[in-house]
Amino acid sequence: MNITDLAGTVTLNNGVEMPYLGLGVYLTKDGEEVETAVLSALEAGYRHIDTASFYHNEAGVGNALAKSDVDRKDIFITTKVWNSDQGYEKTLKAFEVSLKKLQMDFLDLYLVHWPVKGKFTDTWRAFEKLYKEGLIRAIGVSNFHEVHLTELLKMAEVIPAVNQVEFHPYLVQQSLVDFCKSKGIQHEAWSPLMQGGVLDVMLLNEIGKKYGKSPVQVTLRWNLQRGTVTIPKSVHPERIRQNVDIFDFELSEEEMRAINALDRNQRVGPDPENFNF
């Protein structure tokens, strides 16, 4: 990944350019809160917004985009199909609903939100249909481990472009990262800030003091230097701006290794191999 500025991108396995830094809107309330967050992000220079049907704020994201002066073609929009909507026909219908809420005629990236056993391969067939019809620029998955990806790849005609998973200094999952890289699947982080937990990590604070940066900014820079697309969430315009003030410093190899070594295999979210929703 060539890290330049907030306009920087990674090239996915189908040639689509995806901004390597974006705004996540999980738990952001539909209506004014999510609209303000998205508009603040776009004003700050973000061009990547990540939502999901399960977040129940696609309509607010769509309203914000409609109000923005930024051209739709210059914004990368991701949403996800929820577990109860998986399966071939249900996925096709769910996609129509999401597209309508977002007020769009195409989607940049559509993800299978969780690997629902017995359904995600049929869901993927629907994804491939939508992709081949030109309604989605790239298709991918979320919360897929090697076992799920291996099963999917056995039947897939289109290799997933992205795998979005929980990723932060306490959950590196290096074997999964390496597996994705070997298959040409871009690694993307959700909960990169450990739900604010990075603020209490001594090492991140110490490194931050050296560069005049916060533990949050150090963590996000670490994400990018590892080649990981990342989507920090905030509803506060000032923090939204601060989160992307990470292009005027570079972590040393020693600092990168030290942060990598914080790994505890510790999750803040559900385990993809043991979930019941």
The residues annotated with a catalytic role in the active site are 55
The verdict on residue 61 lying in a domain is yes
Domain residue limits at 50: 16-199+229-235
CATH code at position 171: 3.20.20.100
Four-point Cα dihedral 236, 52, 111, 145, nearest 10: 80
State mean pLDDT over 5-16: 98
Number of domains in the chain: 1
The verdict on residue 85 lying in a domain is yes
The verdict on residue 140 lying in a domain is yes
What pLDDT sits at residue 73? 95
Give the E-state strand segments of the chain in sequence order.
9-11, 17-19, 23-24, 48-50, 76-81, 107-112, 136-142, 162-166, 186-190, 229-230
pLDDT tens column, 58-117: 999 999 999 999 999 999 999 999 999 999 999 999 999 999 999 999 999 999 999 999
The verdict on residue 128 lying in a domain is yes
The verdict on residue 254 lying in a domain is no
State mean pLDDT over 236-247: 97
The verdict on residue 172 lying in a domain is yes
- Give the integer Cα–Cα distance in Å for 249 and 240: 18
The verdict on residue 252 lying in a domain is no
The verdict on residue 29 lying in a domain is yes
Q: Which helix (H) or strand (E) holds 36?
A: helix 32-44
pLDDT tens column, 159-202: 999 999 999 999 999 999 999 999 999 999 999 999 999 999 99
